[in-house]
Structure 1
Amino acid sequence: MNTDPLRILHSEAATSFGGQEQYIRRMMLAMRERGHHLEAVCQPDALLTQRLRDEGFTVHTTFMDGPANFVKSVSKIRRILRQGNFDVLNTHSRRDTIVAGCSGRLAGTPLIVRTRHLANKVGSLLSYTVIPHRVTTASDFVRNHLIERGVPPEYVATVYPAVDLPQPPDQSTLRQELQLAQSDIIVGCVAVMRAQKGHRDLIDAMEPLFRQRPDVHLALVGGGSPVFEEILAYIAAKNIGGRVHMLGARRDVPNLLAGFDIFALATRKEASGTVFVEAGAAGLPVVGTNVDGVPEMMQDGVSGILVPLDDKPALTAALKRLIDEPQLRQQMGEAGLKFCREENRFSAESMAQRAEACYARWLAERKS
């Protein structure tokens, strides 16, 4: 650690547990490893509250939703900040940025940082330039968008999310589960079943390849109603149920990735797209859409192939090329392995180092 230990309070108003909450959890764990003191403030019914407590963190709770809770929450968080003598308040959602951010201003917290996780267009700059002192983002794409909207470039920095990269198993059980031969080619996709993830686009792009190659299969990993049921019906209507395998939500993703030959995700919106990193770290060539933060998670033409959004012929062509050229699959898979795993750019340590450097620099700027 190149800086004195910091006292950092993270805030999050969301009650669900997804990529954003995982980002916070991994950040807190990694920063604690580097000697800093971390606490959090969440809503009482938030899944993140218990996850962090299970990791040994102190988690304060207050209801942040609705105008009726505003004054009470601001007062409580201000008291937490003052009594805890925190150096940094790091907010994450718009709601907690307003509530906790106002608390931080009233408490005189030295540095208030807002982290922007999403690739959606930003409306009001209130929670980016007025309440916080500085901003971090999950990708350069999001950073550039904020700069275009008016956030000063020197006030916003990218801190890539950490990606858990377990060593792949020696042998996957996927082919045995699907009763497929070792010579069959499996194109796999891992994503929550949401419309923006482009599952239909991927199925449509694969359909002509099913007709050309009887040894090609598509495995879709992920759950989520009602899209899961809609995709099942879509597959049935096309009569390709024997070629598209719906595996649902799974806890053995490394095992499944080890059974794929190619990873593909035709996502329509993705702030970062860390699943491409997980696939690359498993030695898989990847195919993705050239949107948002996806190009930062792979090397186009080196570890995989990017295609334009809504260009199904290009998506089909990219998949066909990798299906037909085993040497290219191996070459791109090896490049992805180096990019994602060997260069350490998506490790928890790298994430913490970036955040630590931002905090230290911005605290120094604020004091000068």
Structure 2
Amino acid sequence: MPLALRIAQLVSSRQRRGAEVFASDLSEALAALGHEVSFAGLAAPPVEPLAPEVTNVDLTSGPLASMSLEIVRSTARHIRETRPDVIQANGGAVMKYVALAQAWGRTRVPVVYCNIGLSSDWVRHRAQRAWTGWLLRRADVTAAVSAASRDDLLRQYGLDPAVVRVVRRGVDVGARVRADEGRRALTEAGVPSGSFVVLHVGSFSEEKNHAGLIRIVERVRAESDRDVRLVLVGGGPLYEAVERSAPAHVHILGIREDVPALMAGADVLLLPSRTEGIPGVVLEAAAQGIPTVAYDVGGVSEAVRDGETGAVIEAGDEAAASGAVLRLIREPMTLAEWGEAARAFVRDEYSLDASVHAFLDLYREITR
């Protein structure tokens, strides 16, 4: 058996968001294989933080600032004290602090940067590109979340293609929550029994487009005789604003630990995001046999097979998105077929086991 590795998984905060949830799942799977894993958040955790069954630590007690000497020092101290064989920096903000911490602490631990989206959606100015390019070159290898993300990185920064790899996020397609258990979870959360449930799981932030999400469902309700309900799960900076303005058919549940059950009880996942990498929520819903209707941004078309496991819609086309949801209401056989196909697709193409071994291969390559 290969020697065990000491792996430092770093996330912006131990919050229940896509990249952090995957890093948590990956950490537990690596630990189960005998590796020594620490799971560290750079900033203060939420009230109910992620806590995988590995060593958990929060490096600071404040928010994640765009630049903080305290976070640089704390990250440098964490690297020095844990003496990892490899660091995985999950997201651009984390990569920034890892690069600065290694410079501050004069350490040189190999780094895997796990890219989680399209850099071009956030980095638009020449100075930003130069700074981001410098940071990216501090990583020994970049694990791009999708082919679209890899192409974007190569185009933006002229990186060596040999060190930018596509490593798919994996999900555990194990025991499936029964639909009746899922419906019970929704009913207990106040969603009327017998309604057609459109689900959205994600941060209440600008890029998730909650205003568009609500408009799409209002279109669906206007053209359907079913009681269509929109269920929103998550937290974030726009939570209170959305909560204040949401109509009665929108159920806002906040941050939940029973997301798989809520997915199993829903009918369709709706994701009209303005930007995405590979949306983990699509894979998680598929694992519960739930199809997705999503805008074609980032790597969405790599996670949803249009007309087979869901519908991929031109970004911004609310009429087409509502039409896709209406089709699934009117064609229950299509709804069921897409859901089963989605589960089979993630089982075959996005398994957690394959993702774990892909990351292990990267770790071993850069620590030889």
Shorter-chain TM band: 0.7 to 0.9
Give yes or no for the alignment of 1:320 onto 2:331. Answer: no
What corresponds to 1:203 in structure 2? 214
Match of 2:159 among 142, 151, 168: 151
CA 61–319 in structure 1, closer or farther in 2 if over 3 Å, else same: closer
CA 283–32 in structure 1, closer or farther in 2 if over 3 Å, else same: same
Between Structure 1 and Structure 2, how many residues are aligned?
A: 347
Give yes or no for the alignment of 1:285 onto 2:291. Answer: yes
Q: What root-mean-square deviation, in Å, do the aligned CA atoms of Structure 1 and Structure 2 show?
A: 3.3
What corresponds to 1:107 in structure 2? 107
Q: Which runs of 5+ in 1 are unaligned?
A: none
Question: How many angstroms does 1:21 deviate by?
Answer: 2.9
SS of the aligned residue for 1:258 comes to: helix
TM-score by length of 1: 0.80
CA 24–285 in structure 1, closer or farther in 2 if over 3 Å, else same: closer
CA distance in 2, matches of 1:202, 1:42: 30
CA distance in 1, matches of 2:71, 2:253: 43
CA distance in 2, matches of 1:71, 1:274: 29
CA distance in 1, matches of 2:265, 2:58: 42
What corresponds to 1:275 in structure 2? 281
CA 39–350 in structure 1, closer or farther in 2 if over 3 Å, else same: same
What corresponds to 2:99 in structure 1? 98
SS of the aligned residue for 1:98 comes to: helix
TM-score by length of 2: 0.80
Give yes or no for the alignment of 1:168 onto 2:177. Answer: yes
CA distance in 1, matches of 2:298, 2:246: 28
CA 169–137 in structure 1, closer or farther in 2 if over 3 Å, else same: same
- Aligned-partner residue type, residue 97 of structure 1: V
Question: How many angstroms does 1:42 deviate by?
Answer: 5.0
Q: Which runs of 5+ in 2 are unaligned?
A: 124-128
- Aligned-partner residue type, residue 103 of structure 2: C
What corresponds to 1:57 in structure 2? 55
Question: How many angstroms does 1:273 deviate by?
Answer: 0.8
CA distance in 2, matches of 1:317, 1:60: 45
Give yes or no for the alignment of 1:127 onto 2:112. Answer: no
CA distance in 2, matches of 1:255, 1:353: 28
What corresponds to 1:261 in structure 2? 267
Question: How many angstroms does 1:315 deviate by?
Answer: 1.1
- Identity, % of aligned positions: 24
Offset from partner CA, 1:241-289 (integer Å, 9 cap, x none):
2x44344443332332222222212111222211111221221221111
Give yes or no for the alignment of 1:215 onto 2:253. Answer: no
CA distance in 2, matches of 1:187, 1:71: 42
CA 20–235 in structure 1, closer or farther in 2 if over 3 Å, else same: closer
What corresponds to 1:178 in structure 2? 191
What corresponds to 2:126 in structure 1? none
